[in-house]
Structure 1
């Protein structure tokens, strides 16, 4: 933060993890700045309590927020609903914070609203700038989580929250700091958004490269013929079209006790659209009650649940996996890595996704996948395509990783900038104090 000047005089805050603060600032318990209002939930079986006009905030509403202010909720309640539960209407500009499941989501109320019991509302009891205290509380999220208690889930109690010590600069400085952070965090967020869009474009290019190679080959001048497959169109003249079930088998061998030492792979361990194993997960086990399937090295594992996520890998070792992964063992006419790339192609994923059944948990089936005809070059050409795709996708993946690191550094800088500003480590009073 060497680009920013410091205050002329500092004093000890008495808070170890904050250290020194500007001389004119106060350290005040939260209860002297805000009144804490608990939330509540009307009886879910009483229809007259629900689908009203009163905004009713839950931690989930806060978790999906992409801005400072919150003005709407997934569910709303009626006047009867709020009159028959412990929730209370809090005024606009109150600070809303989730205090369980999890602790620390935060927003400023843009309208009068109420919350469920997973949130608490901080209503100012004197003239303050809500946005400054939004930023301050956001910056001490780690500390609020330390104060949480509980066994089933962590919860921040009223008594612990009320004693959290806040820094209170003069009002004009609160406004200046909030204005400064509005501008700087918006600039950082715009940079992050641009980089995230670039990642999306690179991922789209990755899938386009794969799709082109596994449906048209590597030679742009090769003579083409009609594949007879509606979703594929023309394919190189020397290629064939065959159903997957004639090229590979689905293997459904259930794990037994002696398999428990084998690495377990769940859907969460496979990166979407890249075919990358995120972790070997030696210490993690499958969900209690779930029966795992056994797979062998070089088996293709394809996620049948929500296939639009494109979760597919070639196993690099023997192991166990969730039953939501199809274990596919290839025959001699198709290489595992080739089938893997084909199953990651956008055209294949779109087709398989159109076959799903079940609204909340859409799944595809081996019966559908196995009966799909796919374009098939000879094994030697498959090897060439695999080698070329490995080279191209590795370059794209390296670029994506580099951009992801840049995003992480920007997020860390954003958090540091907020903390430095709200604790007075940098002096931003030159920013116009406009309310």
Structure 2
């Protein structure tokens, strides 16, 4: 059942902030003071480059009370189908033949309706959705734990810096820019790759990455424990601690701690609203503003005394390590879900179906 007729786009300048998620083609883009939809719905991207690249999901669920603009189709399953199952089925489908437009890819309502997906009996759909949903639920639980842990890390670091009696300094007293360019022909296809699309907004912990196979341009090599800072449109707040070695987009600054124990401090400072706002205001480029290492390095930060650094490290290092391990668990769970998805949809793998 298509509910696109109920969508209402609202310009950013006309939105009033509130508690209700405002969805676009790739998920929540804002929060507003009212809602259009209530209950579980399936949202499918209507336009955007991601329809072709599939870097992020093109179909996703929205529940509760929320608003949707005109960049996402709004669907609900009929009585013979399960909305969660349809979300997984669409995400697994090859939609390339249904997309029109080159400069701005688009999936029209008519094209969306024409996409063929498996349609097993309702109870089978529900069993498949429950199996895959259990993995997604654990990933979401990890995300919430990580958000709480990250909030605690930020509080500890900020209180330590605020109470420090150390000398005035800058972020460059704690870290240096990584200058390790890698020519595209020298990139190992099996290497880990992190692009801006893999970095969540506003979180210093990264749980998504891909393989470098098929990359078409030069990259920057980084190591586990480096800080990755998205310099393109810095106001998106894409700043995170690398949990693995790999290569990253050249739109990302790789920053290496002078002392690995300082990574939490560096990450919290680099991701702070004050620094991001300052870099966004001073970034170059009108349509695609970019921050520079020069400005990031010059950000003023107290230089902690040796005692202060040891005490801070003792408090936050175990938290960073624990949350990093949750990152790996979520990554493994996502890989398992993605491997199970085509097998379950095709019927090659079956799950037990309960009796009515």
Whether the 8 Å CA contact 1:210–1:344 is kept in 2: the answer is no
Taking the aligned partners of 1:104 and 1:370, their CA distance within structure 2 comes to 37
Structure with greater helix share of residues: 2
Taking the aligned partners of 1:419 and 1:354, their CA distance within structure 2 comes to 49
Pairing partner for 2:253 from 326, 333, 340: 326
Whether the 8 Å CA contact 1:338–1:386 is kept in 2: the answer is yes
What's the counterpart of residue 217 of structure 2? 286
What's the counterpart of residue 394 of structure 1? 321
1:280–1:371: structure 2 CA closer, same or farther, 3 Å change rule? same
Shift of 1:242: 0.9
Whether the 8 Å CA contact 1:300–1:315 is kept in 2: the answer is no
SS in 2 for 1:130: coil
Taking the aligned partners of 1:208 and 1:145, their CA distance within structure 2 comes to 42
1:270–1:369: structure 2 CA closer, same or farther, 3 Å change rule? same
Q: Deviations over 1:278-326 (max 9, x none)?
A: 4673763437xxxx56779987543323362323449968xx6533233
Shift of 1:407: 8.4
Is residue 274 from structure 1 mapped to residue 205 from structure 2 by the alignment? yes
Pairing partner for 1:240 from 167, 186, 193: 167
Taking the aligned partners of 2:299 and 2:115, their CA distance within structure 1 comes to 63
TM-score when normalising by structure 2: 0.51
1:278–1:162: structure 2 CA closer, same or farther, 3 Å change rule? closer
* Structure 1 residues without counterparts, runs of 5 or longer: 1-33, 38-52, 76-98, 108-115, 122-128, 217-231, 431-435
* Structure 2 residues without counterparts, runs of 5 or longer: 10-22, 29-37, 62-69
SS in 2 for 1:145: coil
1:131–1:139: structure 2 CA closer, same or farther, 3 Å change rule? farther
What's the counterpart of residue 238 of structure 2? 309
Matches within 5 A, 1:348-427: 348-355=271-278, 356-357=280-281, 363-378=290-305, 382=309, 385-386=312-313, 389-399=316-326, 402=329, 426=353
What's the counterpart of residue 144 of structure 2? 200
What's the counterpart of residue 78 of structure 2? 130
RMSD (CA atoms): 6.5
Is residue 261 from structure 1 mapped to residue 186 from structure 2 by the alignment? yes
1:275–1:339: structure 2 CA closer, same or farther, 3 Å change rule? farther
Q: Deviations over 1:183-205 (max 9, x none)?
A: x9799979966973663243332
Shift of 1:350: 2.0
Taking the aligned partners of 1:340 and 1:195, their CA distance within structure 2 comes to 25
Report which of the two structures shows the higher radius of gyration computed on alpha carbons.
1
Whether the 8 Å CA contact 1:304–1:324 is kept in 2: the answer is yes
Shift of 1:393: 1.8
Matches within 5 A, 1:157-172: none
Whether the 8 Å CA contact 1:300–1:312 is kept in 2: the answer is yes
Pairing partner for 2:156 from 212, 223, 243: 212
What's the counterpart of residue 341 of structure 1? 264
TM-score when normalising by structure 1: 0.44
Whether the 8 Å CA contact 1:188–1:414 is kept in 2: the answer is yes
Q: Give the aligned length.
A: 298
Shift of 1:142: 8.0
Compare 184-193 and 341-350 and name the one that shifted more: 184-193
